[in-house]
Amino acid sequence: MIEDDFKRLARSAPPPLEDAKRKALEAALQAYDKSGPEKARATQGSPSEGRLTHIATSIWSGLMRQRYMAGTALATLMILPAAAYMTWQIAQNQSGWQPKLLSPLELGSSADGETAFESPLSRFRQQKERDQAASEPMPQVATSPVVKPSPALDGAMPQGSANQPVGGLARQEVSGRSNRQYFHDADRPFTPPFAEAEWNRVESFESNGVKSVTENPVSTFSADVDTASYAMVRRALKQGVMPDPRTVRVEEMVNYFDYDYPAPETAETPFRATVTVTPTPWNANTKLLHIGVKGYDLKPAARPHANLVLLADVSGSMQEADKLPLLKSAFRLLIQKLEPEDTVSIVTYAGDAGTVLEPTPVSDKAKILDALDDLRPGGSTAGAAGLEEAYRLAEQGSVAGGINRVLLATDGDFNVGASDDDALKAMIEKKRQNGVFLSIFGFGQGNYNDQLMQVLAQNGNGVAAYIDTLSEAEKTLVQEASSSLFPIASDVKFQVEFNPEMVAEYRQIGFETRALDREDFNNDRIDAGEIGSGHTVTAIYEITPVGSPAVLNSDLRYGEDRQAGDTSYGDEFAFLKIRAKVPGEAQSNLTEIPVLKDAEVSSFADAPQDVRFSIGVAAFGQKLRGIDQVDSFDFSAIERIAADARGEDPFGYRSEFLQLVRLAMGLEP
């Protein structure tokens, strides 16, 4: 009867409040930190009087005595594995054990982001790390500087990811005695979690350095309209971490935004370039050469028919909410944008490739959406087989004079089949020559193969975008569908020749992975980037005028005769050349533009609004990459430039950029 009363009492008691649990745990942890593990603990209760005992405690003790024998057996079974593991860890310690940061799973976090009680194994590891840290300092993590929490971070970090705070808790401390999680408190330093690129595959590259015009007067590069880097940077900052510098490609950040550069008036002129020379905001002794290119915007009636094959990764790793579920929502938006005469096919890959939907006209929209909704994750990632099947369907439904394109949506890992990057690149190059292009849409984090996705998109004459939110999907697949899917110029190359009478040195900002050799410019067999309908491409050089105190390279004693008295081209900073092909043609057309002194503005504030905003974005990207030239140019100055040049912002993208600058400002050491 007593046992029934106790059960009834337990059921009627209200559950403890989560806020109260958190405050109690915080108070306990703070008390532990103040006392230190080396201090003796005071005796619990009063030694002179018996401890007061609640009636429920007495009842529970009686029940436990009745079940003691069964409980002992169960406890023994639970303790044996933990004891074996502890013995192994002690042996490891004797041979050079190293502390490590605990993941949220090791700390006992639940799937919904709420922090659960720690397991005995977790507590054992934490105590061992505390003891180890007391005798030697823990290694510092370069990608996670210790900073004060910023009010800008409030509400910016979603819960439940392995790379971010879980259940209101901040990431583990990196320095000091303790390696446990603690509450985000305004009076104590906060260590952001690791940048997500620690687990992703990203390409490392050296930033462009300063070049002497007398030694290297010509700069050649391919057009780039990818935007994946900006979305990856945004995701990291909104999770409360500084992005890994390897994920920052400055030209992709600059070209994420649309700019109102002067556009060509007819389709016969596929693009138009505008050049501006302006003072450099971060260096009074240099100037910026700004090149803005605008592609012709196809009218809806002139847009060719599209034959699209969605190649969807449905491997087991795609089951997370920001992967396959987001992929399906994203492509529902695209299908709503297409014309009834366009066709859509769906191929999936996970272990084996399979056709889910044969080429189907968009007029049968319900059938396409039903096939998309039926996609389910499971299996490993046979990406190469999926590509082959997608290309087969694209060729089967090929539209003469139209757009034939495979849209690969994946978290980026091809772990079954011909996964060698060079083999995949060769296959995509061959299909591109047959008129079938490839665009990449990346999802998720943790195992995202950004390096491979860049290679595939560049060789498939397509864009590489990273979709982290449904808003980004709407921007990429709806607002920019024409520019992403319908090219108006292919193999677009730029070449800038600097005049040594005017310019002593130059540094290209970004485009490191798109650099070409000088002789590649006139070789039509060399592949380069596309410009889509209405696309804008921005390129920026920091140039050092002759005689400026900012010149870094000394004159060559035995250098070429610069013919200082020759002033034939004294009014030119540089000479810009652009080569591009009309889609489907083998021979390129040449455009030449002298960069005259007339293009220079006297002050940065006088530069066009879009020029100033794009330069602000370029400064931000360089700052995140840690480039020396902007080391003393702080985030607040970047914020002022972008805020003053924000202009019309109907979709809020520029306002969001300002938020990212403020987040970076709060995370900066």
- Residues 639, 529 within the same domain: yes
- Residues 595, 507 within the same domain: yes
Name the β-bridge partners of 101. none
Averaged pLDDT, 70-80: 50
Distance, CA of 663 to CA of 245 (rounded, Å): 16
- Residues 351, 440 within the same domain: yes
Distance, CA of 7 to CA of 119 (rounded, Å): 26
Examine residue 265 and state whether it is found in any structural domain, yes or no.
yes
Range of the domain at 611: 211-298+488-549+569-667
Examine residue 558 and state whether it is found in any structural domain, yes or no.
no
Question: When comparing pLDDT for 154 and 298, which is higher?
Answer: 298
Averaged pLDDT, 327-334: 93
Examine residue 414 and state whether it is found in any structural domain, yes or no.
yes
Examine residue 263 and state whether it is found in any structural domain, yes or no.
yes
List of E strands, 191-263: 211-212, 218-222
> pLDDT tens-digit profile of 612-629?
999 999 999 999 999 999
Residue 174 is predicted with a pLDDT of: 31
Examine residue 500 and state whether it is found in any structural domain, yes or no.
yes
Mean pLDDT estimate for the chain: 76
Question: When comparing pLDDT for 638 and 118, which is higher?
Answer: 638
Which of 98-102, 131-135, 470-474, 617-621 ranks highest by mean pLDDT? 617-621
Last residue of a domain, one of 194, 224, 244: 194
| Residue 3 confidence class, pLDDT cut points 50, 70, 90 | low
| Residue 149 confidence class, pLDDT cut points 50, 70, 90 | very low
Model pTM?
0.69
- Residues 331, 232 within the same domain: no
| Residue 125 confidence class, pLDDT cut points 50, 70, 90 | very low
Examine residue 57 and state whether it is found in any structural domain, yes or no.
no
- Residues 493, 425 within the same domain: no
Three-state DSSP class for residue 182: coil
Averaged pLDDT, 113-136: 45
> pLDDT tens-digit profile of 594-603?
999 999 999 9
- Residues 384, 290 within the same domain: no
pLDDT at 189 over 70: no
Examine residue 617 and state whether it is found in any structural domain, yes or no.
yes
Last residue of a domain, one of 393, 422, 448: 448
Least confident of 15-24, 29-38, 440-449: 29-38
> pLDDT tens-digit profile of 443-476?
988 777 888 888 888 888 888 999 999 999 999 9
Residue 417 is predicted with a pLDDT of: 55
- Residues 189, 256 within the same domain: no
435-457: buried (b, 16+ CB within 10 Å) or exposed (e) per residue? bbbbbbbbbbbbebbbbbbbbbb
> pLDDT tens-digit profile of 261-292?
999 988 788 889 999 999 999 999 999 999 99
What proportions of the chain, in percent to the nearest 5, are helix, strand and coil?
Answer: 40, 20, 40
Examine residue 471 and state whether it is found in any structural domain, yes or no.
no
Which residue matches tokens 């337990």? Answer: 10
- Residues 362, 501 within the same domain: no
Task: Give me the sheet containing 352-361, strands edge to edge.
Answer: 352-361, 343-350, 306-313, 403-410, 437-442, 464-466
- Residues 219, 276 within the same domain: yes
Task: Judge contact between 433 and 468, C-beta under 8 A.
Answer: no
- Residues 119, 182 within the same domain: yes
pLDDT at 481 over 70: yes
- Residues 362, 285 within the same domain: no
Looking at residue 340, which CATH number applies to its domain? 3.40.50.410
pLDDT at 109 over 70: no
Question: When comparing pLDDT for 132 and 322, which is higher?
Answer: 322
Number of independent structural domains in the chain = 3
Looking at residue 599, which CATH number applies to its domain? 2.60.40.1230
Residue 627 is predicted with a pLDDT of: 96
Instruction: Tell the burial category of 26 from Cβ atoms under 10 Å away from its Cβ (0-12, 13-18, 19+).
Output: middle
- Residues 264, 323 within the same domain: no
Backbone angles phi, psi at 584, to 5 degrees: 95, -10
Of 474, 352, 453, 363, whose CA–CA distance to 410 is shortest? 453
Q: For the CA atoms of 23, 25, 28, 30, what is the dihedral angle to 10 degrees?
A: -70
